[in-house]
Amino acid sequence: MGLCRIYNTDQSGFNLEIYSGRTLANVGQKVVFGEAQAINSLTNSYTIQPIVSADGRLLPVLLVCLQEKTGEFGPIVKNTMFKSNNLYITCSKSGKLTKKIVKEWLDQVYFPNVQDESVLLVDSWGCQNERFLLNAIPAGKK
């Protein structure tokens, strides 16, 4: 198996609002206030997950997981959202990946874009090391 069949992937989360964990306060002050436009914008607001082969090639489709209050795109967003062949866009309430999204990502992004035999290296994050993912391998793929 050559380097072109060995893949690595990891998610990267981004915040809508950048903040520092540091504040300026007088010595001994018990309460220090900070300000943010929205609490949700201080946590992952969207996540991307690229896939790169050991020979340095990016797979042609990038997973993008956006944050939606209900965890689903509404009809207006569905109809007006930018669509591209090299983006797989989905959403969750937090903008972070879930087990369901990882399964979708395997079905819709990874397996259609790799050879019949490949190796995928992932970190030990809970949603990516679940046993059910082994059952997600389609027939004809190893």
pLDDT digits (tens, 9 = 90+) for 52-101: 999 999 999 999 999 888 999 999 999 999 999 999 999 999 888 888 89
Q: Where are the alpha helices (DSSP H) in the chain?
A: 75-80, 99-105
Q: Is residue 58 part of a domain?
A: yes
Contacts for 127 with CB less than 8 Å, ≥ 6 apart: 97, 98, 99, 101, 102
The parent domain of residue 117 ranges over: 3-17+36-136
Question: What does the pLDDT read at residue 127?
Answer: 64
Residue 110 included in any domain = yes
In a domain, 141, yes or no: no
3-state secondary structure of 123: coil
Structurally, the chain folds into a number of domains equal to 1
CB 100 within 8 A of CB 71: no
Beta bridge partners of 121: 8
127 domain-assigned: yes
Q: Are 59 and 51 within 8 A, CB to CB?
A: yes
pLDDT at 12 over 90: no
Residue appearing with tokens 């999204």: 101
Question: Taking every pair of C-alpha atoms in the chain, what is the biggest distance, in angstroms?
Answer: 65
100 lies in a domain? yes
